[in-house]
Structure 1
């Protein structure tokens, strides 16, 4: 008989991954972690029964969460990543030649250790880059107490369930604001809006009193089923989000970064939101 991993993130709706081999399974100090080889998506990681990332399509998510804010900023030297223990986001951030320091705050050392062992292509050596600084700790504690400031802050968290729940709260967003340099940008994964419309409306309601420019951009990631995925956007300057296609093309060309999903044209179109997302905001 075939073994299947059934994800039940949404009530009354689930997706299944056929398992070739379970590579690792354990209850860490914070969550239940499993990594398995699937028949169609390569290696897959799940936390507390929810799929986090797969080898086959992780590049879509990580490229968009990294390159949209970094190319919008134009000169990101200091970047903070909250979460992202698989290392994929750190990998993409460090492709930007201007980045001098990327601080990553991950609550669970076991996630990093297991992903380095079983999903090495996600980080692709990023954890060993001299510009990377790994902090094992709670993200909300870091932004609340740190005296450092950043050009871009990225939240690559789990859904607002369990350890990731605090990364969708007003105190976390207030901490993000205090840690951003003038003109700094915050971006975060914000769920599949068709299936999780309350996440969009709640995030907008909590971010909009703190930042002058709040919105969302989107990408279609097959693993995150139920429609397009949204990423929250916040900045105290409307200029970065309005970066012209010509500016994005110039910055992308000068970076010499190789991508599989991101293009300046995709970037420019990602902020065009369907009506059902606009309705959730309004």
Structure 2
């Protein structure tokens, strides 16, 4: 098989990935799931035709969305992940031995079971860790009804279409803010700002009303095409000012070896925004 898969996320721009072999193609109660083999990126997972994760470059996304807030915080014990059904985010969070509990809220149980079977290397055993508590529920409902507080909250959402749409609203961000402990940090997936400027602009408008420190940071993930990817950052503390040498010390204390993208120097540099992104942040 040598079909080409068109990603249909953007109306005026598309990328294509060669499917050397289609491994799985089916529809769940929430969305269409496909996994295919690509010679460069390995196994590729798409939801409703949009690339979610690939074996080849997933480490960039997962390392930057976990280690950046966790090492900046320095004392995170409880972490909430909204989304993240492939298990990659939980895998990276659980590398921090000081983390005592990770609550992962995923709307679609099929994504979790599917990922365990077809993409096991991404979770790498995270679902078997006793510190992980998996909740199959709507993330927006969870933050509206839960009474727990978390040191770090990671929104590992799909794009703001379909099931992920509610995870980009002002009301969701406001309720998520209430789930943060003192000094807590909220980070979000905010797409590629060159092609999805309103996604970042809307999140930052909400964050500026909620947090003393509201900004974004960047990472380049090849399969999220169109430029660097943005991650929202919100906190009332001074965690963003953590010196590079302190990050290095925390990284060593956590035993974080073998990372392929994140470094303390990259951490600091990721907050240096080009002009067009800085204007979206406001």
Deviation at 1:183, TM superposition (A): 0.4
* CA contact 2:7–2:14 (8 Å) conserved in 1: yes
Deviation at 1:281, TM superposition (A): 2.2
Paired residue for 2:252? 253
Higher mean displacement: 208-217 or 54-63: 208-217
Deviation at 1:215, TM superposition (A): 0.4
- Residues 218-257 of structure 1 aligned to structure 2 (within 5 Å): 218-237=218-237, 239-257=238-256
Paired residue for 2:67? 67
How many residues in Structure 1 have an aligned counterpart in Structure 2? 281
Distance 1:275 1:141 in 2: 36
Secondary structure in structure 2 of the residue aligned to 1:164: helix
Paired residue for 1:141? 141
Secondary structure in structure 2 of the residue aligned to 1:209: helix
Structure 1, gaps ≥5 residues long: none
Paired residue for 2:270? 270
* CA contact 2:76–2:151 (8 Å) conserved in 1: yes
Secondary structure in structure 2 of the residue aligned to 1:151: strand
- Residues 19-168 of structure 1 aligned to structure 2 (within 5 Å): 19-168=19-168
Distance 1:77 1:280 in 2: 32
Deviation at 1:185, TM superposition (A): 0.3
Higher mean displacement: 17-26 or 176-185: 17-26
Paired residue for 1:206? 206
* CA contact 2:19–2:36 (8 Å) conserved in 1: yes
Deviation at 1:172, TM superposition (A): 0.8
Report the TM-score when normalising by structure 2.
Answer: 0.98
Deviation at 1:9, TM superposition (A): 1.2
Distance 1:113 1:272 in 2: 38
Higher mean displacement: 75-84 or 247-256: 247-256
Distance 2:64 2:111 in 1: 22
Distance 1:211 1:280 in 2: 17
Deviation at 1:39, TM superposition (A): 2.0
1:87-111 per-residue CA deviation (whole Å, 9 max, x = no partner) reads 0000000000110000000000000
Deviation at 1:266, TM superposition (A): 0.4
Distance 2:145 2:25 in 1: 34
Deviation at 1:78, TM superposition (A): 0.2
RMSD: 0.9
Give 4+ residue runs of structure 1 displaced > 3 Å after superposition.
none
- Residues 10-21 of structure 1 aligned to structure 2 (within 5 Å): 10-21=10-21
Distance 2:200 2:18 in 1: 31
Distance 1:67 1:281 in 2: 22
Distance 2:63 2:42 in 1: 19
Paired residue for 1:179? 179
